[in-house]
C-alpha cells in the first residue's frame, strides 16, 4: 500500500525535480559557497593558524577541535624532528611551567614534572628570563618564546588597580623587544585561563575571573598596539583559555587547569610550530597550499585546452552532441556497451573533459587548497547508528517490484551494492573504525564487494564467452579512469585509492584464469560433465596460487616491488599496505566465482525454483538454510563484539567472511516474496557505488579521509546535508562522464584499439622514466 500511495507522488515530483535539476542546484550552491568562503577570508580576516590559536571546542572527552581546521596529534619522533634545530623558551609563572611540562611530555613522554628550571634538549623553562634579560640578543637567542603572566601579580598585590597599570607599563616596555624577537622567530603570549573561585585557597581568593579578564584585555591591547605600522607578529594563544572554560571545574586547586586542558594548549603550540614544516595530512591548521607539480600543471593545460577546443567547435557551428545513456551505470561488474544509432560528434569528448575539469577544480579546492574548512572525526554510537536506521527506513519505503525474480538479479545486486556503500560512507564519516564490532562488520561488506566481482565476471565469461580485448579495456577504463585522474590532480599514488587497485587486480586474475587454454564455457560444458571438472581444476589452481602467496610474504613483496609495477602498488615507498589489503580479503573473489559456478550449474539443471513467489529450494532444505543463516549472523556479531584487537580479528576474517555473505544471499533469495521486491533507493546508489567510494576521499570527507569537509561552519547537521547533496551529484556526473569517454577512448575496431594501447603504453613509460630520473638516488 505504501508503494501504491507513493507512486503517483513520485511521478509528480519527478516532473519538476530530476537528477539534472539537482546538479544545477548543486552547481549554484558550490558557487555561492565559494563566494561566501572567499569573502569571509578577505573581509573577516584570519587564517587557519589564527583559528588554531584562538578558537575551538571539545568534541568529546579530551578531544579538542580547533575552529575550521584539523589538529594533528604529534608523536615523540615527529616532535623531535620538527624541533631539532630550534631553541624553545617558556617564560612565566607556574601556569606556564605546567604548559611547559605538557609540551616536553610530547617530546619525551617519560620525563617527570619536577624542578623550576628544567631542560629537555633545546626546550627550557625560565620563570624570570624576560625580566632579567635572559633572552637578550645573543648567540643563544631562542627561536620560539612562549610566555604569559598575571595570576601571581594579582596574588602578590591583592588585585590592586595600581598593579594592573604597572602590568600594562611593563608589558609595553617588553613588547617592542618581543616584536624584534618575532622578526626572526616566533613569540606566543598565553592568555590567562579562568579559575574555579569556589575551591581556591584563602591566599588565592583575590585571583578572580574578573581580574584575569582585565589582565587579558590589557595584554591584548598592548600587543595589538605594539606595532603601529602593521600587524603584530606576537601571536596570542587563547585556545587553552577556551578549553579551560569547560574544564576548570575539574581543577584540584582551582588555579591550575587539569592536565587534559594543558595538553590541549601544548598540542596547539606543537601544531602551530610544526605543521608547516612536517605537513601532516591530518593537520590542516597552519599549512600553506603546496605548489603545483608538473603533472598537475599538465592536467590544467589539458582541461583548459579542452575548453578552448569546445568553444571553437561551438563557434564554428559544430553543435551536434549526443550522450549515450547506458542501460545501467555500475562499478564492479561489466557495463553493456551502448549501441549508438547516431555517431559521436567531435564535441562529445571535449564536452566531457570540460565537465571533468570543473569537477576536478572542485576536488582541488575542497582538499588541497585552503578554501574550505576541515574538522576531525569523533566517533559516538549515535553518529553511526542513527543515520544507519534513517537510511534503512528510506530504503524500505522505496520498495518496488522486481522485473526479474532470479537469484541475485541485476536489481538485487544494485540494491546490495547500494546499501553496503551507504553503510560504508556512514562508517567513514563517523569514524566508526575505532569501534571494533562495527569495523569487523564493515570488513564483511568490503569482502562482499569482492565476492560480487568474482560472481559477476565469472558469470559473464561463463555465459557469454567474450574474452575480447575490447571488453577488457572497457572494464579497466571504467574502473580506473576516475582514480587515474585523481592521482594526477590530487598528487596521490594509485595505491592510495586501495579498492580500485584491488578490484582491477582481481579482474585481471579472473580473466587470466578463465581465458587461458582451455577456455571452458557453459555451451561446451553442457555437452560433457568433464568440462565441469576442468573448471573446478582451474578454480583449484587459483586457490593454490592464492595460498602460496598468502604464506610467502617475501616473494609477494619482491614481485610487486619490481619496477615499473611497483608504481602501482607502493604507498609511501612500501608495499606493505597492498600486502595487507590483498591478504585481508584474499579468498572473497574465488568464493564468488565458486558460488557463481555452483549456482549456474544448478540453474541449468533446473534444481532451483526461481518463479515469482516461489521458494528457491524445497521447504525443509529452505527452512534449514534460513535457520543456519540467522544463527551464523548472530554468532558472528557475538564473536565480533568479543574481539580484543583488530589484528586478532583480521586473522580470522578471510576464512569466516564468506559465511556471512552466503547467509545474506540465502535470507534475501530463498523466500519468493523477498526476491520479488527490491529497494529502488538503494539500487540507485548501487549504480554509482564505485564513484561514491572514491569521491568521498576528497569532497565529502577531507584530508584524504582523515577529517570531514566543512562547507557550512557552525551547523554540523546542515553542513552534512549540503555536502552530501553536492557529493552525490558529483559522483553521478562522473559516472556519466566515464561512460561518455569510454565510448570514445575504447574503439571497437581491434586495429585502432591496439594503436591506442601502444600509444598509451609509450606515454606511460615516458612518464615513469621521468618520475624515476627525478628521484634522488639512495646514496644521495
Mean pLDDT over the full length of the chain? 88
Residues of CATH 3.40.50.1110 domain(s) within the chain? 48-278
Range 420-443 average pLDDT: 96
Q: Where are the beta strands (DSSP E) in 61-99?
A: 63-66, 88-92
Query: Per the residue annotation, which of 37, 72, 256, 457 is the catalytic one?
Result: 256
Q: What is the pLDDT of residue 335?
A: 44
Q: What is the pLDDT of residue 26?
A: 96
**CB-CB contact of 233 with 185 (8 Å):** no
Q: Is the pLDDT of residue 46 over 80?
A: no
Instruction: Flag the least confident range among 4-8, 66-70, 536-540.
Output: 4-8
**CB-CB contact of 74 with 273 (8 Å):** no
750-773 as b/e: b if 16+ CB within 10 A: eeebeeeeeeeeeeeeeeeeeeee
Residues 12-35: pLDDT tens digits? 445 556 899 999 999 999 999 999
Residues above pLDDT 70, as percent of the chain: 88
Query: Per the residue annotation, which of 94, 249, 528, 552 is the catalytic one?
Result: 94
List Cα–Cα distances, 243 to 33, 59, 149, 362, 376, in angstroms. Answer: 30, 11, 18, 34, 16
According to DSSP, the β-strands at 144-148 and 186-190 are: parallel
Q: 487: closest CA among 425, 557, 564, 570?
A: 570
Range 108-114 average pLDDT: 70
Residues 118-171: pLDDT tens digits? 444 456 666 556 554 445 544 568 899 999 988 888 888 887 888 899 999 989
Residues 263-308: pLDDT tens digits? 999 999 999 999 999 999 999 999 988 899 988 999 999 999 999 9
Which cell numbers hold the place of 756? Answer: 591506442
List Cα–Cα distances, 394 to 397, 427, 657, 665, 751, in angstroms. Answer: 5, 18, 27, 21, 49
Phi-psi group of 425: left, alpha or beta (phi > 0 → left; psi -120 to 50 → alpha; rest → beta): alpha
Cα–Cα distance, 502 to 513 (Å, whole number): 16
Cα–Cα distance, 384 to 293 (Å, whole number): 38
Instruction: Flag the least confident range among 230-244, 258-272, 694-708.
Output: 230-244
Q: Is the pLDDT of residue 5 over 50?
A: no
Cα–Cα distance, 780 to 774 (Å, whole number): 12
Tell which wins on pLDDT, 7 or 673: 673
CATH number, span 48-278: 3.40.50.1110
376 forms beta bridges with 707
Range 520-535 average pLDDT: 83
Q: What is the pLDDT of residue 334?
A: 41
**CB-CB contact of 156 with 145 (8 Å):** no
Range 49-64 average pLDDT: 90
Q: In sequence order, which residues have a C-beta less than 8 Å from that of residue 563 and are 6 or more positions away?
A: 768, 772
Q: What is the pLDDT of residue 333?
A: 42
Q: 665: closest CA among 699, 626, 639?
A: 626
Cα–Cα distance, 702 to 369 (Å, whole number): 11
Q: What is the pLDDT of residue 161?
A: 84
pLDDT category of residue 768 using cuts at 50, 70 and 90: confident
List Cα–Cα distances, 276 to 289, 308, 352, in angstroms. Answer: 10, 37, 37
* Length, in residues, of the chain: 780
SS3 category, 666: helix
pLDDT category of residue 41 using cuts at 50, 70 and 90: confident
Cis amide bond preceding 518, omega within 30:
yes
State yes or no: is 256 an active-site residue.
Answer: yes
Tell which wins on pLDDT, 335 or 224: 224
In which residue are the cell numbers 583559555 written? 241
Range 689-715 average pLDDT: 95
Q: What is the pLDDT of residue 84?
A: 86
Q: What is the pLDDT of residue 316?
A: 81
Residues 612-636: pLDDT tens digits? 889 999 989 999 999 999 999 999 9
State yes or no: is 160 an active-site residue.
Answer: no
DSSP 452-473: HHHHHHHHHHHHH----HHHHH
Q: Is the pLDDT of residue 451 over 60?
A: yes
Cα–Cα distance, 103 to 597 (Å, whole number): 61
List Cα–Cα distances, 637 to 344, 584, 686, in angstroms. Answer: 52, 19, 25
Q: Where are the beta strands (DSSP E) in 701-744?
A: 701-702, 707-710
Question: What are the start-end ranges of the H helices in 185-293?
Answer: 209-224, 239-247, 259-278
DSSP 612-639: TT--SS-HHHHHHHHHHHHHHHHHHHHH
**CB-CB contact of 232 with 224 (8 Å):** yes
Query: Per the residue annotation, which of 253, 574, 641, 771 is the catalytic one?
Result: 253
Residues 213-231: pLDDT tens digits? 999 999 999 998 876 656 7
Q: Which H or E run includes 188?
A: strand 186-190
Amino acid at each position: 500500500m505504501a508503494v501504491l500511495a507513493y507512486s503517483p507522488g513520485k511521478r509528480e515530483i519527478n516532473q519538476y525535480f530530476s537528477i539534472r535539476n539537482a546538479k544545477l542546484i548543486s552547481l549554484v550552491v558550490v558557487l555561492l559557497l565559494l563566494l561566501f568562503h572567499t569573502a569571509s577570508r578577505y573581509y573577516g580576516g584570519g587564517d587557519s593558524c589564527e583559528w588554531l590559536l584562538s578558537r575551538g571546542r571539545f568534541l568529546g572527552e579530551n578531544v579538542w577541535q580547533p575552529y575550521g581546521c584539523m589538529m594533528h596529534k604529534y608523536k615523540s619522533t615527529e616532535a623531535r624532528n620538527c624541533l631539532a634545530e630550534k631553541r624553545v623558551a617558556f617564560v612565566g609563572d607556574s601556569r606556564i611551567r605546567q604548559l611547559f611540562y605538557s609540551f616536553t611530555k610530547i617530546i619525551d613522554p617519560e620525563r617527570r614534572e619536577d624542578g623550576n628550571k628544567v631542560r629537555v634538549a633545546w626546550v627550557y623553562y625560565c620563570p624570570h628570563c624576560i625580566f632579567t634579560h635572559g633572552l637578550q640578543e645573543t648567540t643563544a637567542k631562542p627561536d620560539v618564546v612562549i610566555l604569559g603572566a598575571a595570576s601571581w601579580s594579582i596574588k602578590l598585590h591583592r588585585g590592586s588597580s595600581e598593579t594592573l597599570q604597572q602590568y600594562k607599563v611593563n608589558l609595553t616596555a617588553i613588547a617592542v623587544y618581543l616584536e624584534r624577537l618575532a622578526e626572526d622567530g616566533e613569540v606566543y603570549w598565553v592568555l590567562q585561563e579562568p579559575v574555579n573561585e569556589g575551591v581556591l585557597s584563602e591566599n588565592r581568593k583575590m585571583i578572580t575571573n574578573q581580574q584575569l579578564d582585565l589582565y587579558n584585555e590589557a595584554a591584548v591591547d598592548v600587543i595589538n598596539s605594539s606595532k603601529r605600522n602593521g600587524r603584530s607578529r606576537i601571536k596570542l594563544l587563547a585556545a587553552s583559555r577556551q578549553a579551560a572554560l569547560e574544564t576548570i571545574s575539574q581543577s584540584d586547586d582551582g588555579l591550575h587547569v587539569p592536565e587534559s586542558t594543558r595538553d590541549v594548549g601544548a598540542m596547539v603550540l606543537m601544531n602551530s610550530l610544526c605543521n608547516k614544516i612536517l605537513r601532516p595530512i591530518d593537520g590542516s591548521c597552519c599549512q600553506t597550499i603546496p605548489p603545483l607539480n608538473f603533472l598537475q600543471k599538465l592536467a590544467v593545460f589539458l582541461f583548459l585546452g579542452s575548453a578552448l577546443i569546445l568553444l571553437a567547435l561551438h563557434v564554428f557551428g559544430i553543435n551536434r552532441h549526443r550522450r549515450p545513456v547506458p542501460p545501467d551505470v555500475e562499478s564492479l561488474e561489466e557495463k553493456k556497451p551502448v549501441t549508438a544509432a547516431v555517431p559521436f560528434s567531435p564535441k562529445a569528448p571535449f564536452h566531457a573533459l570540460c565537465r571533468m575539469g570543473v569537477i576536478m577544480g572542485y576536488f582541488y579546492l575542497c582538499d588541497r587548497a585552503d578554501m574550505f574548512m576541515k574538522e576531525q572525526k569523533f566517533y559516538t554510537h549515535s553518529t553511526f547508528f542513527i543515520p544507519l536506521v534513517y537510511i534503512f527506513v528510506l530504503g524500505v519505503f522505496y520498495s518496488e517490484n522486481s522485473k526479474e525474480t532470479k537469484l541475485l538479479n541485476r536489481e538485487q545486486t544494485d540494491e546490495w551494492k547500494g546499501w553496503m556503500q551507504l553503510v560504508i560512507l556512514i562508517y567513514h564519516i563517523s569514524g566508526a573504525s575505532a569501534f571494533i564490532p562495527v569495523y569487523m562488520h564493515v570488513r564483511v561488506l568490503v569482502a562482499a564487494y569482492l565476492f560480487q566481482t568474482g560472481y559477476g565476471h565469472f558469470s559473464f565469461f561463463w555465459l557469454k564467452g567474450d574474452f575480447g580485448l575490447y571488453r577488457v579495456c572497457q572494464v579497466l577504463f571504467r574502473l580506473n579512469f576516475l582514480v587515474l585522474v585523481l592521482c594526477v590532480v590530487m598528487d596521490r599514488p594509485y595505491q592510495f585509492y586501495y579498492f580500485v587497485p584491488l578490484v582491477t587486480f582481481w579482474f585481471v586474475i579472473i580473466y587470466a584464469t578463465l581465458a587461458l587454454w582451455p577456455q571452458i564455457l557453459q555451451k561446451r560444458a553442457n555437452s560433457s560433465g568433464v568440462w565441469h571438472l576442468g573448471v573446478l581444476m582451474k578454480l583449484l589452481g587459483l586457490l593454490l596460487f592464492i595460498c602460496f602467496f598468502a604464506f610467502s610474504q617475501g616473494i609477494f613483496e619482491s614481485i610487486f616491488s619490481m619496477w615499473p609495477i611497483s608504481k602501482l602498488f607502493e604507498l609511501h615507498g612500501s608495499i606493505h599496505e597492498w600486502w595487507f589489503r590483498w591478504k585481508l580479503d584474499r579468498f572473497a573473489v574465488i568464493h564468488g566465482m565458486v558460488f557463481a559456478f555452483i549456482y549456474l550449474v544448478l540453474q541449468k539443471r533446473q534444481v532451483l525454483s526461481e518463479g515469482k513467489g516461489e521458494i528457491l529450494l524445497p521447504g525443509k532444505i529452505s527452512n534449514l538454510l534460513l535457520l543456519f543463516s540467522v544463527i551464523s549472523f548472530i554468532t558472528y556479531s557475538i564473536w565480533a563484539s568479543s574481539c580484543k584487537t583488530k589484528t586478532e580479528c583480521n586473522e580470522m576474517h578471510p576464512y569466516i567472511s564468506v559465511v556471512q555473505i552466503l547467509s545474506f544471499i540465502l535470507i534475501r533469495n530463498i523466500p519468493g516474496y523477498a526476491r520479488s521486491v527490491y529497494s529502488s533507493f538503494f539500487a540507485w546508489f548501487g549504480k554509482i557505488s564505485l564513484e561514491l567510494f572514491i569521491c568521498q576521499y576528497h569532497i565529502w570527507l577531507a584530508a584524504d579521509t582523515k577529517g570531514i569537509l566543512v562547507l557550512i561552519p557552525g551547523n554540523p547537521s546542515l553542513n552534512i546535508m549540503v555536502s552530501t547533496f553536492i557529493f552525490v551529484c558529483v559522483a553521478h556526473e562522473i559516472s556519466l562522464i566515464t561512460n561518455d569517454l569510454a565510448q570514445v577512448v575504447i574503439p571497437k575496431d581491434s586495429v585502432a584499439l591496439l594503436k591506442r594501447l601502444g600509444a598509451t603504453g609509450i606515454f606511460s613509460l615516458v612518464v615513469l622514466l621521468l618520475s624515476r630520473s627525478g628521484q634522488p638516488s639512495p646514496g644521495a
